[in-house]
Structure 1
């Protein structure tokens, strides 16, 4: 059990200075309360109390000393977290436990504002909603056991392993972001550790020159519809172009336009880097065509 008083110089200062918190931490649980504000030059970092230069010294000092006495008591005696929380903050102040789905909504809205992709978050949120069958689940209820049950549920209901791992990576990203928001008091630690694993990679299929020629000389079945011929031709053309420029992702090649072609070179930004600054590094490949 650890209780302390600290001026949080890492947070954004107000006109009165940085926030001064009483903090309580124990085995991943935490709670904090702002009891005042102070500028760095008005605060004794060693003794964790205001200096006489503080404009509200006569008001703030008694408050700090009262809480300081309580933190000493908590640190020296064998309290449960609930009892220590009650001693420091009173029975009426309970540990805030934000909802997981509620914070998904926060992140989705933040991504909308920033112009980032958020569709995968919306999809995963709906999957969690279907799983819990309630309005929400507290962030601090997201444990290894909870996640393991989620994985088993999805696999038993037809999801493939790679897809479930993809859901978990989005779930982890949202959870870790919630942990960074101190006001949410999310437990420390990583409940996803050991739950997210890499699926066994599929064997690479070698393509011989003979196989490649078959693709180039591909003929449709006489019963193939015009619509299907067009679709198959498009997919075949994209696949072949992937090969010609060195094997880039299908989605990157499928999004190319004539504007990406300059002389004998093709230039584009990768789709997976679309949210990075300036779209990430540019791919600039020479176009080489050789007759087999």
Structure 2
């Protein structure tokens, strides 16, 4: 009996409740699976046509990737049949996906960047491409084996990043995290032995320095909200910033992608661009006041609320990314002048909307509720983030000692 390869959605969700896509290899009614590394909601899977529904934001890119992975598996099956190899489903899987020990670090780099482009993750592609450029400059030639990446290599490379490239400790650590990511993939794919792993206790340690997160105070927020001497472009930038703040620091990309059709039953329903989570938030009264300024520009029910993406090519991830990046730069420039008019000395950017929400929330809201509002997957992330804004206990302790 000949073997077959088919794309399926495995019914074993991960901790986020998403289901893995896999190639199923079957022979003699026995099957084995090879995960392709992507997870989706059960409702986004078309089991009849074995494809991702258009309801998923990256359906086209992921369906293209599925076609590619199926093609690779079927080519492998044909090659085995040509060579008259008779094997079980599990043996076929090992033969098709057998380790390729001659793969280099840059082979994994190319595969990683290509996947990001296919998936339309342009922001991550831009960031990771920057990390790659530093590695390329250090190596001088585009060849680096995983065996060469040891503790000595990483220590010398870190010195190069901070010295020759003048990078901060945080940025240098981000480059190291990128290297670690691909090293872990190489181990998982059995391209390199676990014994060569050079990260962790007793080896090269990735440690980020503490960062200062500064948000606006309630008093400063009230001043900004009441400003009336703003130009049209400043007013629009402030509206976008406040829209983000009122929804607990919603990311600028998600703000600009918000459509009128997502507002119903007194709630905003949207899918986060960062992790595809579905969210539903009650619309505060202050949001309705902002919406009133834009309803006259509504061309159809599914139109964008804000104008920045109305002329974007939604089928072109690069165009979408560039327009969001340009808009964010414009907003930050206008927010700088708004802060001056408000007499605020703190740096005000779109990202500061998130810090401002955290600063005002402090310890008045339960961490579990903040986790939901921040859309964090892990409660520990919320607790660590909120710790930047909670100083009451330390302040009281200080006062109790010196107030005599």
Q: TM-score, normalised by structure 2?
A: 0.41
Aligned to 1:150: 157
Aligned to 2:268: 266
Tell me how far 1:112 sits from its aligned partner.
4.5
SS of equivalent to 1:188: helix
Aligned to 2:110: 105
- Kindly report the root-mean-square deviation, in angstroms, between the aligned alpha carbons of the 2 structures: 3.5
Hey, what's the Cα distance between the residues in 2 that align with 1:11 and 1:216?
Answer: 55
Aligned to 1:49: none
- Pick the aligned partner of 2:87 from 7, 12, 16: 16
Q: Deviation digits for residues 109-163 of structure 1, max 9, x if unmatched? A: 3444566656143332222111211121111111122222222222222222332
Aligned: 1:130 with 2:137: yes
Tell me how far 1:284 sits from its aligned partner.
0.8
Tell me how far 1:235 sits from its aligned partner.
3.2
SS of equivalent to 2:279: strand
Tell me how far 1:190 sits from its aligned partner.
3.5
Contact 1:148 1:195 in 2 (8 A): no
Residues 163, 220 of structure 1: alpha-carbon distance in 2 compared, 3 angstrom cutoff: farther
SS of equivalent to 2:274: helix
Hey, what's the Cα distance between the residues in 1 that align with 2:160 and 2:285?
Answer: 49
- Pick the aligned partner of 1:217 from 221, 226, 245: 226
Q: Deviation digits for residues 40-90 of structure 1, max 9, x if unmatched? A: xxxxxxxxxxxxxxxxxxxxxxxxxxxxxxxxxxxxxxxxxxxxxxxxxxx
SS of equivalent to 1:136: coil
Residues 258, 158 of structure 1: alpha-carbon distance in 2 compared, 3 angstrom cutoff: farther
Q: Which one has the largest radius of gyration?
A: 1
- Pick the aligned partner of 1:174 from 178, 182, 192: 182
Aligned: 1:288 with 2:297: no
Contact 1:266 1:285 in 2 (8 A): yes
Structure 2 unaligned blocks of 5 or more = 1-31, 35-76, 78-84, 290-404
SS of equivalent to 1:271: coil
Tell me how far 1:266 sits from its aligned partner.
1.2
SS of equivalent to 1:167: helix
SS of equivalent to 1:172: helix
Structure 1 unaligned blocks of 5 or more = 1-9, 21-33, 35-94, 274-278
Tell me how far 1:103 sits from its aligned partner.
1.9
Q: TM-score, normalised by structure 1?
A: 0.55
Hey, what's the Cα distance between the residues in 2 that align with 1:114 and 1:251?
Answer: 16
Contact 1:270 1:283 in 2 (8 A): yes
Contact 1:147 1:195 in 2 (8 A): no
Contact 2:105 2:145 in 1 (8 A): yes
Hey, what's the Cα distance between the residues in 2 that align with 1:271 and 1:129?
Answer: 30
Hey, what's the Cα distance between the residues in 2 that align with 1:96 and 1:190?
Answer: 15
Q: Deviation digits for residues 140-188 of structure 1, max 9, x if unmatched? A: 1111222222222222222223323322222222221111122x23453
SS of equivalent to 1:246: coil
Contact 1:256 1:268 in 2 (8 A): yes
Hey, what's the Cα distance between the residues in 2 that align with 1:113 and 1:205?
Answer: 36
Hey, what's the Cα distance between the residues in 2 that align with 1:285 and 1:249?
Answer: 14
Aligned to 2:363: none
Tell me how far 1:255 sits from its aligned partner.
3.1
- Pick the aligned partner of 2:168 from 147, 160, 171: 160
Aligned: 1:196 with 2:206: yes
Aligned: 1:249 with 2:251: yes
SS of equivalent to 2:268: strand
**Aligned residues between the structures:** 195
Hey, what's the Cα distance between the residues in 2 that align with 1:149 and 1:178?
Answer: 22
SS of equivalent to 2:206: coil
Aligned to 1:67: none
Residues 147, 233 of structure 1: alpha-carbon distance in 2 compared, 3 angstrom cutoff: farther
Contact 2:134 2:161 in 1 (8 A): no
Contact 1:100 1:138 in 2 (8 A): yes
